[in-house]
Amino acid sequence: MPAADSPVPRFVLINRSQLLLRPVDVERLIDEEHPARSLWDLVGSLDLSPYHDATAAVKGGAGRPAIDPQLLVALWLYAYSKGISSAREISRQSEYEPGFSWLCGLEPVNHHTLSDFRAGHKAALDDLFAQVLGLLSAEGLITLERVTQDGTKIRANAGSNTFRSGETLAAHMKLAQEQVQLMEEQAQEEEQVSARQAAAQKRARQEREQKLRRAQQEVERLQKEKKRDRDEYVARASTTDPEAHLMRPSEGGAVPAYNVQITTDTANGLVVGVAVTTDAIDYRQLEPALDRMFATHGRYPAEVLADGDYTNHASVQAAAARGVDFYGSWKPKWEPGEYDAHGRGPAFQTRAFVYEAERDCYSCPAGQLLKLHAIQKQPNGVRLRIYRAAEAACQVCSHRSSCGPKKAKPGWSRSVSRAEEPAVITAFKEKMATVAAQSTYRVRSQIAEFPHAWIKQRCGLRQFRGRGQWKVACEATWACLSYNLSRWFALRRCTAATV
């Protein structure tokens, strides 16, 4: 214990009840090298006329002036560069974060305005994306000599438990319509709701009905599309986001998601094409990706690298038809097992039959000839040559029970088929068997997967905020645009450091 006469320490008092007015020099909120300034200058150099054309407020007209699209574009790009994908968060941070505060001049933009702007101008946003690609191309950062194509699944703004079958949706629709009628009758009787409340309730009911109707349409479409493959298939659609489909993202599980298709130029890892599809698999996505490239850049890339999910007859032929050199990974659909679908052992499977090129026929394990019987042309361009043994030979053959199906019809004789692939497929397979092609293909994963990781980790796009393919496509484009600009600024810093 201190002695009674020992000195008592004195401290500065904290006064939290005072009010202060401080001068703020907005221009000095951020330093000269701050990324918000670079973004502002860059956006200012772009042609924003598509946004201007869509602005309702005009000189001499009634109402408040609109927020400048340059500010809204810069705010969204700055937000994505900081991993912020929420309009509310931008509005909140504009109160104190120096970059946001400087951009909006200490007057935060309402989150509704920000949100509507992000998803409301798809054509103008695509134009903006193309303009930036043009600038990157002019600086020689995009060459289109070699690009990669890959897809990543991003969660939709809907729960897995919102998926309903057509029957359940019809019941929900009926219930919603009954509720609407009941509420309207009550409102008329009670006259308790204000005009504003009534309008809000009406809007909410209309949105609910629209979503249910859209979900019903989606279920009908899916049912028609998939019924051919599986008779027992029961299509389901989400009542929250009818366009989202159940997909399997890399994190695992099956969740409502969209498939974001990204094309990346290997020269500097810049994104040169982006689109969103509701197709859960990448099987059909290479051809549209190449056509998007042509629409945006006016030419096709010289080479495209894509993984086994894209590698199929249609993709190889589509690339060849466009003069694009495709490098992929051809996966066999299935590996032959010990017994085939008819229960035949290895001694009587097709691979046990010997093809004689000179006579264009096969000889079976019993030494009988199988002559060309028919040629079938398949939709993927493959010609299937079918060879058949003489009926008389198979009828008396001692191997008939091992060579034929368990229940052979009267008049059965063995047939085998030989697939004659189009020349481009054969050339592709031969090319991919070479060491040089394999070495080219190996660069694919590191280039293709980097933008995926960036838009999810650095731009905060782990889940979409909007609903519907249109809105999520806008979000994906904003994130990729932000990625390209971040990469561009980084490349400029590297160049400046080496000079």
Q: Which residues lie near ligand SF4 (CB under 6 A)?
A: 364-366, 368, 389, 393-394, 397, 399-400, 403-404, 414
Alpha-carbon torsion (223, 226, 229, 232), positive or negative: negative
Taking the C-alpha atoms of residue 60 and residue 67, their distance in angstroms, rounded to an integer, is: 16
Structural tokens at position 133: 């690609």
Of 370 and 459, which has the nearer Cβ to ligand SF4? 370
**Shortest Å, Cβ 358 to ligand SF4:** 20
Q: Which residues pair with 389 in a beta bridge?
A: 370
**In Å, how far are 38, 242, 341, 342, 346 from 337, measured between CA atoms?**
61, 41, 9, 12, 9
Q: Sort 138 into a burial class: Cβ within 10 Å, 0-12 / 13-18 / 19+.
A: exposed
Of 327 and 353, which has the nearer Cβ to ligand SF4? 353
**Shortest Å, Cβ 375 to ligand SF4:** 20
**In Å, how far are 164, 176, 182, 238, 356 from 160, measured between CA atoms?**
10, 21, 30, 8, 56
DSSP readout, 83-132? T---HHHHHHHTTT-HHHHHHHTT-PPPHHHHHHHHHH-HHHHHHHHHHH
Of 201 and 350, which has the nearer Cβ to ligand SF4? 350
Dihedrals φ, ψ of 172, to 5°?
-65, -40
**Shortest Å, Cβ 401 to ligand SF4:** 9
CA nearest 169: which of 233, 236, 257, 244?
236
Taking the C-alpha atoms of residue 144 and residue 294, their distance in angstroms, rounded to an integer, is: 11
Of 85 and 368, which has the nearer Cβ to ligand SF4? 368
Of 379 and 410, which has the nearer Cβ to ligand SF4? 410
Of 111 and 399, which has the nearer Cβ to ligand SF4? 399
Of 36 and 394, which has the nearer Cβ to ligand SF4? 394
Taking the C-alpha atoms of residue 229 and residue 373, their distance in angstroms, rounded to an integer, is: 28
**Shortest Å, Cβ 355 to ligand SF4:** 14
Of 310 and 387, which has the nearer Cβ to ligand SF4? 387
**Shortest Å, Cβ 415 to ligand SF4:** 9
**Shortest Å, Cβ 376 to ligand SF4:** 20
DSSP readout, 400-414? HHHHS-TTPPTT---
**Shortest Å, Cβ 246 to ligand SF4:** 46
Structural tokens at position 60: 């001499």
**Shortest Å, Cβ 411 to ligand SF4:** 13
Taking the C-alpha atoms of residue 296 and residue 265, their distance in angstroms, rounded to an integer, is: 14
